[in-house]
Amino acid sequence: MSKLKTETQNSKIELNAFLHTELEPIVPSPLDSQALAQGDGELKGLKLAIKDNILVKDWPATAGSKILEGFIAPYDATVIKKLKEAGATLIGKTNLDEFGMGSSTENSAFGPTKNPWDPKRVPGGSSGGSAAAVAADLCDASLGSDTGGSIRQPAAFCGITGLKPTYGSVSRYGLIALASSLDVIGPFARDAETVERVFAAMSGEDNKDQTTFNYTYKPVDADLSKLKVGLPKELWELEIDPEIKSAVRSVVDWLSSKGAKIIDVSLPSVVYALPAYYVILPAECSANLSRYDGIRYQRSVTKDSQKLIERYMDTRALFGSEVKRRILIGTFALSVGHYDAYYQTAVNVKDKITSDHERVFKEVDSPVRF
Amino acid sequence: MPELSREEINHLAKLSRLTLSDVEKEKFAKQLPEILDFVDRLSVVAKMPSEKTTQAVPLAKLRPDEETSEKLSLETLKKLAPAWHEDQVEVPAVFEN
């Protein structure tokens, strides 16, 4: 037992998957929910790690940024409250690219996380700490957040299962905002069944987040022989690593062998998703990150006889390079003379992508995505 | 798009309320136009018919009965502010004398 514990501790340090390693686990008590009081709780005993941009009461939350160093969360995010009620044990906070801006976890102000399969490689990002912790067996499951691939991509890089839920199916209350119209919290685990259990416990409508919709997770026994799967031709035409393309192809062939109907579909606007994202994300984050003003969230750079604006500017010097770059782009895209050409155009493209998907979902049950 | 001039990057930094070092100014003056050039491929779809944006984050529905957030204690609030004076958050002066 002690040997295993030592190995786990060493692994935590070598991978740099966890921040604030001094934290004591939070074990739910029977007072947290009726289910736990009755000895139930669907996640009882599950060891869960939390991305450090999700608030856990009385624990630090840095979002991987120096600007939030020393901040202690005053309340639980809705997902944390629900997961505690379901009996999950919270074991720690995981590393991420600063405010979720990155795809490798190298942009964390607290050093990069390494991939447990090969420490010379990155674990992906921005939820790289959460993915690495699960892959290295340091926890049973973890929470990440996804704004533009930040759960899907590290899950793939670490060889585990990650779920980016539909926007609005999980509350964002207590998630440190990056781009509010895209952010969503989702689970990682080594198997799909655990991902499903965590998602079932954390999802659903929340009065504290008005973008959530009336939703209760229900397991569906899919009859593959009746499934209609769409192949979007625009995605197959993109330049994608042949190994990945062939892996996706083999899944499509497997579905076909089980009787699923494979149908060619068209999503013409989807190739514009990335440039639109490059406008919408910085625009929203430049507004969201204006709150780090050296007054709120404890951290500030103070010098004598400073004016308010100087305090603001000096504190914001704590942002890393990637964060500054995106704030600059967002400010540019929202400024007079550029708003219509950049922000309004990107939002129009987003609307077109939505309507293209609505059309395709009338033709098939699910389109295949890379 | 050509590289941003020193005046343009200074103006953008001012609008963004960011203090940039000379190294950062040089780097961003080169990088920003490259990113904006990539984004410019959206201009081919700019003529798409659409409505003006009225909200950045579409709400699922408006809930008049939305409960107010739990109130934080004075003790908790004190821990969240860098300076505190007689039960009030202390901030530097906004205006010059």
From residue A208, alpha-carbon distances to A79, A171, A204, A211, A301 in Å are 11, 8, 12, 9, 32
Instruction: Look at A290 and B17 and tell me if their CB atoms are within 8 Å.
Output: yes
Residues whose CB is less than 8 angstroms from the CB of residue A69 and which lie 6 or more positions away in sequence, other chains included:
A62, A109, A299
* Residue ranges of domains in chain B: 6-45
In this predicted structure, the answer to whether residue A251 has a pLDDT above a threshold of 90 is yes
- Among B32, B62, B66, whose Cβ lies nearest the Cβ of A329? B32
pLDDT at B69: 62
Q: Which residues of A touch B39 (CB under 8 A)?
A: 275, 278-279, 342, 346
pLDDT tens for each residue of A7-66? 556 666 689 999 999 999 999 988 888 888 888 889 999 999 999 999 999 999 999 999
Q: Is B35 on the interface with A (CB under 8 A)?
A: yes
User: How does residue B68 score in pLDDT terms, banded at 50, 70 and 90?
Assistant: low
| Mean pLDDT over each residue of chain A, to the nearest integer | 92
Instruction: Look at A213 and B58 and tell me if their CB atoms are within 8 Å.
Output: no
From residue A244, alpha-carbon distances to A116, A123, A240, A262, B68 in Å are 21, 17, 7, 19, 47
pTM above 0.95, yes or no: no
pLDDT tens for each residue of A344-362? 999 989 989 999 999 999 9
Q: Is B75 on the interface with A (CB under 8 A)?
A: no
* Residue ranges of domains in chain A: 2-202, 271-352
pLDDT at A9: 61
Residues whose CB is less than 8 angstroms from the CB of residue A128 and which lie 6 or more positions away in sequence, other chains included:
A17, A95, A96, A97, A104, A105, A112, A113, A122, A154, A157
User: How does residue B41 score in pLDDT terms, banded at 50, 70 and 90?
Assistant: confident
Q: Name the CATH superfamily for B6-45.
A: Glu-tRNAGln amidotransferase C subunit, N-terminal domain (1.10.20.60)
Q: What is the mean pLDDT of residues A69-90?
A: 96
In order, the DSSP letters of A113-142 are PPBTTBTTS---SSSHHHHHHHHTTSSSEE
Q: Which CATH number fits domain A2-202: 3.10.20.340, 3.90.1300.10, 3.40.47.10, 2.60.40.1120?
A: 3.90.1300.10
Residue B51 identity: E
In this predicted structure, the answer to whether residue A6 has a pLDDT above a threshold of 80 is no
